[in-house]
Structure 1
Amino acid sequence: MNITESEDQAQRLIFDWARWQQGKYPQLKAMYHAANEGKRSARAGAELKRQGMKPGVSDICLPCASGKYNNLYVELKVGNGKASDNQLKFVDMINSIGGKAVVVYGSEAAIELITAYLEGTIDDLEIVSDTYPKEKAKITERVNKKRFIGFCGIDCRKCDNKGCQGRTVDDILSPGLMPAT
Structure 2
Amino acid sequence: MVATAVKRRVAPRRRPSVDYEGMEQAALFNWLRWRHPEAWELAYHIPNGGHRLKAVAAKLKAQGVKAGVSDIKLPMARGGYFGLYIEFKASPPHDASVSDSQRAFLQKVEQEGYLAMVCRGLDEARKAIDVYMAWPRTEVARGSSGQ
Say whether the fold is shared (TM-score over 0.5): yes
Aligned partner of 2:111 in structure 1 is 96
> Is 2:131 the partner of 1:87?
no
Runs (4+) of structure 1 exceeding 2 A deviation are none
Q: TM-score, normalised by structure 2?
A: 0.73
SS at match of 1:11: helix
Say which of 116, 132, 136 aligns to 1:117.
132
- Runs of 5+ in structure 1 lacking a partner? 122-181
How far 1:49 moved relative to its partner?
1.1
Q: Distance in 1 between matches of 2:56 and 2:89?
A: 26
* Higher RCO (C-alpha 8 Å, min separation 6): 2
SS at match of 2:119: strand
Aligned partner of 1:21 in structure 2 is 35
Say which of 49, 65, 73 aligns to 1:61.
73
SS at match of 1:30: coil
How far 1:82 moved relative to its partner?
0.7
**Contact 2:29/2:40, CA 8 A, preserved across alignment:** no
- 1:21-58 C-alpha deviation (Å, 9 max, x unpaired): 244xx132100111111211222111111111111111
Amino acid corresponding to residue 116 of structure 2 in structure 1: A
Amino acid corresponding to residue 78 of structure 2 in structure 1: S
- 1:119-167 C-alpha deviation (Å, 9 max, x unpaired): 118xxxxxxxxxxxxxxxxxxxxxxxxxxxxxxxxxxxxxxxxxxxxxx
SS at match of 2:78: coil
Q: Distance in 1 between matches of 2:76 and 2:100?
A: 26
**Identity between Structure 1 and Structure 2 (%):** 37
How many residue pairs match? The answer is 115
How far 1:96 moved relative to its partner?
0.8
Aligned partner of 1:6 in structure 2 is 20
- Runs of 5+ in structure 2 lacking a partner? 1-18, 137-147
Q: TM-score, normalised by structure 1?
A: 0.60
**Contact 2:68/2:102, CA 8 A, preserved across alignment:** yes
Q: Distance in 2 between matches of 1:94 and 1:22?
A: 23
The structure with more radius of gyration: 2
Q: Distance in 2 between matches of 1:94 and 1:100?
A: 8
Q: Distance in 2 between matches of 1:108 and 1:29?
A: 21
